[in-house]
């Protein structure tokens, strides 16, 4: 039987967080003969692993021949922001059930994308279920070491500058390592209505009236939901002045929330004043996208403990938690 030509000139296109399209070239006489494709996909760290033999291929790695490019979605649980290597082999299924196969193509590498808006909207829906009732609050606050605030005063003109968000939270978050902002909290203690006296980030706390950051000229975006192998969950929200660079960045990547009516963080006019509320049953992480002068708030030392074990700096999300993960690629 005439041998099959080896696939070559692999092209990867239309990459998302959970799918991609793949095409290749083979000799024209083989186009009508091929009945199946074998696709070998590996995370890049495993790229030196031996390729499977076609007789041992699980069904999910075999696809019936279709016109190229072929969309690969649902064949694997692809992870977002992950480097993969892929190679292909074509085959003819014979009457005895065995396959006549070509040689393996060259191996090409690609990286999957971030969560798209629709994935974040699924996370948002999960977060809404666990948000709980809304509690009033009046300040946003930021805890840090005393040396941090001294540096801001002495070397930064008293202005806190936005910095790149770390890699905490969902691996596919489109803001990790890309969005610049300043981290704030707003959760209050149920019995006092005040910010807690403990913090994982430092004993010094900058507090700023909520209306300085959050008002009708502010856009609010949902960015993430995650946990760290614990019963409580963190929701990440972004506050960006309307029309600012941060607003333009988020508008195409994140679901926008109505600031007067959502399950996480609201700003409503009640009489002559603005009233602010936060979700009781989520720990909210607020990212404000603009520089802030310390003169807009005040600095104080908290009386509680520095609970370093609760820090979320570069924290990895629990991938097994059904409450805060979305199934992709199926």
Which tens digits make up the pLDDT trace of 235-244?
999 999 999 9
Residue 323 maps to a domain:
no
Render pLDDT for 16-74 as a digit per residue (tens, 0 to 9).
988 999 999 999 889 889 999 999 988 876 444 444 444 333 334 678 999 999 998 86
Q: How confident is the model at residue 279 (pLDDT cuts 50, 70, 90)?
A: very high
In this structure, the answer to whether residues 97 and 221 fall within a common structural domain is no
pLDDT of residue 280: 95
**Tokens at residue 301, please?**
């030392």
Averaged pLDDT, 283-287: 97
Q: Cα–chain-centroid distance for residue 280? A: 23
pLDDT(307) > 60: no
* Whether residue 269 sits in one domain with residue 246: yes
Same structural domain for residues 205 and 297? yes
Q: Do 143 and 24 lie in a common domain?
A: no
User: How many structural domains comprise the chain?
Assistant: 2
- Domain stops at, among 112, 128, 154: 112
**In this structure, are 144 and 178 located in the same domain?**
yes
Whether the predicted pLDDT of 274 surpasses 80: yes
**Cα distance between residue 34 and residue 21, in whole Å:** 19
Query: What is the structure's pLDDT at 328?
Result: 58
pTM for the full model? 0.84
The domain boundary, picked from 84, 112, 140, lies at 112
Q: What is the mean pLDDT of residues 99-121?
A: 93
Say whether both 141 and 87 belong to one domain.
no
253 shares a domain with 189: yes
Asked if 139 and 203 sit in the same domain, the reply is yes
Q: Is the pLDDT of residue 230 over 90?
A: no
How confident is the model over 116-153, as pLDDT tens digits?
A: 999 999 999 999 999 999 999 999 999 999 999 999 99
pLDDT of the residue at 196: 85
Task: Say if residue 47 is in the same domain as residue 123.
Answer: no
Shared domain check, 198 and 66: no
Q: So what's the pLDDT on residue 9?
A: 96
Residues of the chain with pLDDT > 70, as a percent, come to 88
Residue with more model confidence, 26 or 76: 26
Q: Domain containing 297: what range?
A: 117-301
In the predicted model, is pLDDT for residue 310 greater than 70? no
The predicted structure's pLDDT at residue 48: 45
* CATH code of the domain in which 88 resides: 2.60.40.10
- Going from the C-alpha of 173 to that of each of 20, 48, 85, the distances in angstroms are 18, 28, 22
For all residues of the chain together, what is the average pLDDT?
88
Residue 147 lies in a domain: yes
Determine the Cα–Cα distance for residues 80 and 329; give it in Å rounded to an integer: 10
């Amino acid at each position: 039987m005439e041998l099959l030509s080896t696939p070559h000139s692999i092209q990867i296109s239309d990459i998302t967080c959970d799918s991609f399209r793949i095409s290749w070239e083979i000799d024209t006489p083989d186009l009508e003969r091929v009945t199946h494709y074998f696709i070998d996909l590996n995370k890049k760290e495993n790229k030196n692993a031996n390729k499977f033999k076609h007789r041992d291929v699980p069904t999910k790695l075999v696809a019936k021949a279709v016109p190229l490019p072929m969309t690969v979605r649902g064949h694997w649980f692809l992870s977002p922001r992950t480097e993969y290597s892929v190679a292909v082999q074509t085959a003819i299924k014979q009457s005895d059930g065995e396959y006549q196969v070509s040689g393996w193509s060259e191996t090409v590498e690609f990286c999957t994308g971030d969560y798209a808006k629709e994935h974040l909207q699924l996370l948002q829906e999960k977060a809404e279920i666990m948000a709980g009732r809304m509690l009033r609050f009046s300040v946003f606050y930021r805890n840090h070491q005393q040396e941090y605030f001294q540096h801001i005063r002495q070397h930064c003109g008293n202005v806190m500058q936005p910095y790149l968000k770390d890699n905490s939270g969902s691996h596919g978050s489109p803001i990790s390592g890309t969005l610049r902002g300043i981290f704030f909290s707003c959760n209050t203690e149920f019995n006092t209505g005040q910010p807690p006296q403990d913090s994982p980030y430092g004993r010094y706390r900058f507090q700023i009236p909520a209306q300085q950051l959050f008002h009708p000229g502010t856009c609010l975006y949902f960015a993430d939901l995650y946990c760290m192998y614990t019963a409580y969950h963190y929701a990440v929200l972004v506050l960006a002045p309307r029309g600012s660079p941060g607003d333009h960045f988020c508008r195409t990547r994140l679901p926008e929330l109505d600031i007067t009516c959502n399950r996480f963080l609201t700003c409503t006019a009640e009489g002559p004043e603005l009233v602010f509320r936060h979700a009781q049953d989520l720990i909210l992480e607020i990212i404000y996208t603009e520089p802030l002068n310390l003169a807009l708030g005040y600095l104080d030392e908290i009386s509680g403990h520095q609970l370093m074990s609760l820090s979320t700096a570069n924290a990895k999300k629990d991938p097994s938690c059904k409450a805060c993960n979305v199934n992709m690629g199926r």
